[in-house]
A and B are shown apart, each in its own frame.
Chain A
Amino acid sequence: MSFRLIVCASVLLGLAPVCHGDDTQPASSMWEFLRTKYYGDAPMGLVDEGYMSLEVPANTPDPAATPLTLHFADDAHIKRARVFIDNNPSPLVATFEFGDTPVTQIDLHVRVDRFTSVRVVAEKAGGGLEMRSTWVKASGGCSAPPSAAAGGVLGEIRLRPGENAKSLLVSIHHPNSSGFQIDPRTGDNIPAHYISHVRIEAGGRTLLDAETGISVSENPTLRIASDQALPAPVTVDAVDSVTQAHFTASTASARTAAAQVPAPANGRN
């Protein structure tokens, strides 16, 4: 664990003690640091669950892929939302920027390294901040070995639209290595390698623009939902942190690929 402590210490420039676990209560001094860094001393609303809410199972089914759900009111008019996991080696999980179509739900699978608070902070279009938080008991989500079922095509994207096209489940095949995992063959650290950016457009306009990091699980999974049908086509563009390669997919091409398979060259069916 010394490696992780060193990383924490260097990130925090001398605030290393907050990297140590606390068995009874998630440490909060990390949050003071993050809050000041991102929001200064601006006040935050904390209570209206109808406006925004955050759900994470307190006992996660899988520390390396903990399901996290954000709900927003359809008239919330949120410009930007950040998700934080206080006690992860890289606490900023994702920054979401929203377009015009109201997004009412985001699901994301995240790594949770140890007992921690999980937070979402929303910046309203008209100004003002809202925060919701909860806590999760977990251990080892960032250093969990790559899954035994790993493999497949790097950057392959699966899109699964929901009922009446009001939602889209996006699965991106990618190791999303946290930098804290060990290669079982060599015993060495696997370098961080993740999806750094996901842009989702609906009907040619931005639906969601997300900056993402190492706290997102292997095979990043993102689900977005709205109260209304998402304007077609919905396209996804994901960027690789190491190669800067763009992986793309579209509900239109998925449909046309199925509907307009060109006739084989030899003319036979």
Chain B
Amino acid sequence: MIVLRPRARRRFATLLSVPLFAVPLLAVPLLAVTCLLGGAEEGGALAVDELARGVYVHRGAQLPLDVPGHDDIANIGFIVGSRCVAVIDTGGSVRIGRALRAAVRRRTSLPICYVINTHVHVDHVLGNEAFKDDHPSFVGNATLAQAMVRSRPYFVKEYAQDLDAPATLEQVIGPDRLVETELTLDLGDRPLTLRAWPTAHTDCDLTVYDQKTSTLWTGDLLFIGRLPALDGSLVGWIAAVDRLAALRVRLAIPGHGPPTPHLQEALAREHGYLESLLQGVRRELAAGDSMQDAILHVGGDEKSRWLLFDEVHPRNVARAYEELQWEK
């Protein structure tokens, strides 16, 4: 997939100033490189946009987890203070992590002091290894440590091609600094407030708030465009959405989908889906229906509003069914 980002567009504009006969000669290798790296800048650096002063975001593609490019589907990025840099999520492969690191280096030579993971999923953590030599503090929800231990063997087995060969457990780096409820990190005249959430999207969600620009990184507590994927607690996630909706921020960066100044609107749409899942599965259970019936009956009217609905929705219903069987 070729997305012409502003920087790439400038590059094409430059091409037009060379003699016309030379364009095919130059454009072919350039296109090839763009195709191969997908959203890459020169020198193997990941394309990032400065969405607020010192806040750089790389937009992941809205792709499923089992296709080429699956390692570049999450929004990841970094925030630069006067003293050092915090990286927020590192992408779904060591390769993407390195490209993100190259993007940091293109913008600042300040040290990378923190690598923050918003939760345990591969598309957010497998690039951690690329930052090891910077000796940052790896930061996450206190529950992320255990989630990493639990998931590490699975990641190494199922996502070996996204790690350096040979894939080893050591490359899947967990947190060394844990957030129990709230923690403020200072990047130098730049305080970041990290908040650990009770089980919602996963059992280890974390949000990052940049006070200076009023920017909230929601991690996967917020999906925009792409269907939210349930891997924690449906009831907990709805509660988290309600709490997030009380926040007033200038910019929200979701785990997936376009960053937005309209946090409440995006949360309302996500809430709509989660609530229809909740009510639908509760109804099926009350009628004593099977999981297969629930998958057939619940939430279909949300289909047109979301990307990857068919890939993700049946699993969401299954997870909700398993959880809600035990509701008091």
**Can you name the residue of chain B whose Cβ is closest to the Cβ of A105?**
B290
Q: Which residues of B contact A160 (CB under 8 A)?
A: 285-288
Give chain A's interface residue range (CB within 8 Å of chain B): 35 or more
**Can you name the residue of chain B whose Cβ is closest to the Cβ of A66?**
B318
**Can you name the residue of chain B whose Cβ is closest to the Cβ of A1?**
B157
Bound Cα distance A57, B202 (Å) = 25
Bound Cα distance A182, B154 (Å) = 11
Contact B323 A149 (CB under 8 A): yes
Task: Give which listed residue, A139, A140, A147, A221, contacts B291 with CB less than 8 A.
Answer: A221
Q: Which residues of A contact B233 (CB under 8 A)?
A: 148-149
Stretch in contact with the other chain, from B20-28, B145-153, B240-248, B250-258:
B145-153
Contact A148 B202 (CB under 8 A): yes
Contact B325 A171 (CB under 8 A): yes
Bound Cα distance A218, B321 (Å) = 13
Contact A223 B290 (CB under 8 A): yes
Q: Does B317 contact A (CB under 8 A)?
A: yes
User: Interface majority SS on B: helix, strand, loop or mixed?
Assistant: helix
CB-CB under 8 A for A107 and B157, given A160-B285, A182-B150 = no
Give chain B's interface residue range (CB within 8 Å of chain A): 20 to 34
Bound Cα distance A111, B287 (Å) = 25
Stretch in contact with the other chain, from A27-35, A76-84, A162-170:
A162-170
Q: Provide the B140-162 mask, 1 if CB < 8 A to any CB of A, else 0.
A: 00000011011101100110000
Contact A61 B202 (CB under 8 A): no
Contact A65 B322 (CB under 8 A): yes
Q: Does B232 contact A (CB under 8 A)?
A: yes
Q: Does A99 contact B (CB under 8 A)?
A: no
Contact A184 B146 (CB under 8 A): yes
Q: Provide the B297-328 mask, 1 if CB < 8 A to any CB of A, else 0.
A: 00000000000000000110111001101100
**Can you name the residue of chain B whose Cβ is closest to the Cβ of A163?**
B287
Contact A140 B295 (CB under 8 A): no
Q: Does B199 contact A (CB under 8 A)?
A: yes
Task: Give which listed residue, A67, A143, A158, contacts B290 with CB less than 8 A.
Answer: A67
Q: Does A109 contact B (CB under 8 A)?
A: yes
Q: Does A267 contact B (CB under 8 A)?
A: no
The 9 closest A-B pairs by CB, nearest first: A162-B288, A184-B150, A148-B203, A61-B318, A61-B314, A160-B288, A107-B290, A67-B291, A61-B315
